[in-house]
């Protein structure tokens, strides 16, 4: 057995992690083969809604709940794109097997890792808004800081998520701006190509559009956070979250997925995830409070 064929899937993920390369490793729902997009990650500045599909930028999209200068919408360039463990092993063979020190920007983001919030206090405040008839729902969330030393290595974590959630999209993303994130989500917002695209509403209703303006559709998703992860009415809910939730969500409850790679686009809502960093992790979770 060759060295390439004998390397474990967990070791392949660790190879990516330790190389310091920016990448997105992800697996579609019910698809046994993971996909890799590897390349430089830069802030996305193209006005997507004004471009036909053929002129959209290509790459892996990583979009935060509320973009800021320090937490921008990112696009990982498709310098390397492959599918399946064998091709991933081939494409990553030349990567150096060493952990790259965090750059200054990563250290700045490291200090911004949330340390949790007083969830019960926030919940009581929002119940007061509901009782007064000012709101109908709110997606409240929390981030808990935990020890990374007791957890499985990151390769095993990605594989375990894929095993436990076969019907969900699972991913690991690393950029020098965002740091390293791992998660899974059952929520597909949009999937398709320049010829045909399918969108899925929160209720599960599917809509199909032919020859769509995919740039405009993606732009609309990026512009305002979904009511699923903010609340109703959305303006009041976003302001309540900004004032009272007590921590920056960063890329939790944002959007992610491949954008215009080989004429394929898929956008997912980032619902269950954790942010890894040396010596620790921040686990994000939340749910909707209804009237």
- pLDDT one-digit tens code per residue, 93-148: 887 555 554 444 445 545 455 555 566 777 777 777 777 777 778 888 888 876 55
Structural tokens at position 205: 């209703």
The pLDDT value given to residue 121: 75
pLDDT at 281 over 70: yes
Mean pLDDT of 77-87: 96
Render pLDDT for 218-262 as a digit per residue (tens, 0 to 9).
Answer: 988 998 778 899 888 888 888 888 888 888 999 999 999 999 998
**Distance between CA atoms of 62 and 196, rounded to whole angstroms?**
23
Q: Which residue has the higher pLDDT, 149 or 193?
A: 193
What whole-number percentage of the chain has pLDDT above 90? 46
Residue 267 predicted with pLDDT over 70: yes
pLDDT at residue 5 in the model: 46
CA atoms within 13 A on the CB side of 209: 14
pLDDT for the residue 135:
72
pLDDT confidence band for 58 (50 / 70 / 90): very high
11-52 pLDDT, tens digit each:
899 889 888 899 999 999 999 999 999 999 999 876 665 554
53, pLDDT greater than 50: no
List the domains of the chain with CATH numbers: 3-290 (3.60.120.10)
Q: What is the pLDDT of residue 118?
A: 67
Whether residue 87 is predicted with pLDDT greater than 50 in this model: the reply is yes
**How far apart, in whole angstroms, are the C-alpha atoms of residue 231 and residue 253?**
12
pLDDT of residue 96: 57
User: Parallel, antiparallel, or unpaired for β 179-185 and 41-43?
Assistant: unpaired
Asked if 264 and 194 touch (Cβ cutoff 8 Å), the reply is no
Q: How many residues does the chain have?
A: 291
Per-chain mean pLDDT for the chain: 83
Among 31-45, 183-197, 206-220, the range scoring the smallest mean pLDDT is: 206-220
């Amino acid at each position: 057995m060759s060295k390439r064929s004998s390397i474990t899937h967990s070791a392949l993920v660790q190879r990516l992690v330790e190389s310091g390369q920016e990448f997105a490793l992800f697996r579609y729902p019910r698809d046994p083969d993971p996909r890799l997009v590897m390349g430089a990650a830069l802030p996305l500045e193209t006005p997507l809604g004004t471009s036909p599909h053929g002129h959209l930028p290509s790459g892996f999209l990583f979009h935060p709940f509320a973009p800021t200068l320090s937490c921008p919408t990112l696009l990982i360039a498709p310098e390397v794109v492959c599918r399946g463990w064998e091709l991933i092993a081939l494409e990553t063979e030349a990567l150096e097997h060493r952990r790259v020190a965090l750059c200054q920007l990563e250290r700045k983001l490291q200090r911004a890792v949330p340390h949790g919030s007083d969830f019960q206090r926030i919940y009581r405040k929002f119940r007061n808004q509901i009782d007064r008839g000012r709101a109908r729902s709110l997606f409240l969330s929390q981030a808990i800081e935990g020890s990374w030393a007791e957890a499985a290595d990151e390769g095993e974590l990605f594989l375990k998520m894929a095993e436990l959630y076969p019907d969900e999209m699972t991913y690991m993303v690393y950029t020098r701006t965002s740091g390293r994130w791992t998660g899974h989500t059952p929520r597909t917002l949009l999937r398709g190509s320049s010829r045909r695209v399918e969108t899925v509403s929160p209720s599960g209703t599917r809509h199909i559009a032919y020859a769509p303006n995919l740039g405009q559709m993606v732009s609309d998703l990026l512009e305002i956070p979904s009511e699923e992860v903010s609340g109703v009415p959305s303006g009041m809910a976003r302001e309540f979250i900004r004032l009272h939730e007590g921590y920056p969500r960063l890329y939790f409850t944002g959007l992610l997925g491949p954008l215009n790679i080989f004429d394929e686009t898929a956008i997912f809502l980032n619902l269950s995830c954790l942010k890894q960093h040396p010596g620790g992790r921040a686990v994000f979770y939340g749910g909707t409070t209804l009237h």
